[in-house]
Amino acid sequence: MELEESKANCFIDDMIAVLQDGKVLLHRQDAQQAVRKLQDLKKKDFIITTEDFEDILRQIKDEMAKVLKSTENAATKSEEEYEDLKNKLTELKAQMSEAEKKHLELKNKFTVLETEQKEEIKRLKVEGSPQQKQLEFEKAKSGMLQMYIEYEKA
């Protein structure tokens, strides 16, 4: 298996870039070991065997599979969290709608009670008029009686 050195270095640089991904692979020991082996490949006096190359490619493939699996797991978890939030939002909307209905019912009851109270006050004023007149008459009568008693004393 032969390859021009510049082309081989380009491929090796691409593989190194993938293995040095700062999010996942940079902190993995096996990925960094593969990076060191790839860097050794770039040395001019280094002789690579097909077996070494296959081993490196297998390690890269394994790491890529692990990255893919962890990405899928993170995506699944995000989807589950999104669905949970969506369900909670729907529940909160239903509760808010119920609270608005209760508020409207209470407001209507208050309006009815207020109207009934105003009507009762009007009724009492109308009915209270003769009683009020009687009370005023009694006060006037009492005042006249008091004046008469004072007149008789004098």
pLDDT (tens place) for every residue of the chain, 154 residues total: 567 778 888 888 888 888 887 777 778 888 888 888 888 877 765 566 778 778 888 888 988 898 889 889 989 998 999 999 999 999 999 999 999 999 999 999 999 989 998 888 877 776 656 777 777 788 888 888 888 888 887 6
Q: Is residue 121 part of a domain?
A: no
Q: Is residue 30 part of a domain?
A: yes
Name the residue range of residue 30's domain. Answer: 5-84
User: What pLDDT was estimated at residue 17?
Assistant: 86
Cβ 38 vs Cβ 20: under 8 Å: no
Q: Is residue 65 part of a domain?
A: yes
User: What pLDDT was estimated at residue 127?
Assistant: 62
Q: Is residue 139 part of a domain?
A: no
Cβ 90 vs Cβ 41: under 8 Å: no
Q: Is residue 27 part of a domain?
A: yes
Q: Is residue 26 part of a domain?
A: yes
User: What pLDDT was estimated at residue 81?
Assistant: 94
Residues ≥6 apart with Cβ < 8 Å to 52: 37
Distance CA 53, CA 2 (A): 12
3-state secondary structure of 21: coil
Count of all residues that appear for the chain in the document: 154
What domain count does the chain have?
1
pTM: 0.41
Q: Is residue 152 part of a domain?
A: no
Other Cβ atoms closer than 10 A to 15: 20
